[in-house]
Amino acid sequence: PFTGLLNSFIISTCSTILNVYFSSLTAYAITAYEWKLREAFSGMIIAVMMIPTTVTTIGFYQMVYKLGLTNNLSMLIIPAIASPMTVFFMRQYLQANLAMEIVQSARIDGAGEFRIFNQIVVPLMKPAIATQAIFAYVGSWNNLFMPLILLTDKSKKTLPVMVSLL
């Protein structure tokens, strides 16, 4: 049981941190930059949100199996980085709360884009980050379907899988 608890903690913590950070970074890029395909990209994010994850499971499993990564915890962490729902939520939050004048002022003062994001935008996004971190952590912790399919080694199983097999 302790290994399941530890595996669930590692997966949930890592996937939550990466999910929230990179989704916030993507939302910032969509909001702060004017580029040709911005609206198309936003539409694609909404379209991907409509596809249930179970639809893509067979293809994902085949890819993981061919790469020989079936009993690897990173296969439960890495896909969680690209969460269209989190990107959508963060984008909505930024559109309502980010004053582009602050970003433009930082650019004029010579700040790089990552410095602007990490020192200005992230502190402004703390409420949205906290909300999405809770959702991502709970969702990752309670995930039964993908760990049940990908993890066959008993030492790699997560707590929900161990509980379901009792």
The reported pTM is 0.89
143 near 77, Cβ under 8 Å? no
Q: What are the pLDDT digits (tens) for 104-158?
A: 999 999 999 999 999 999 999 999 999 999 999 999 999 999 999 999 899 999 9
- Of 133, 166, 150, nearest in space to 7 by CA: 150
86 near 19, Cβ under 8 Å? yes
Q: Which residues contact 72 (CB under 8 A, 6 or more apart)?
A: 64, 150, 156
| Mean pLDDT over each residue of the chain, to the nearest integer | 93
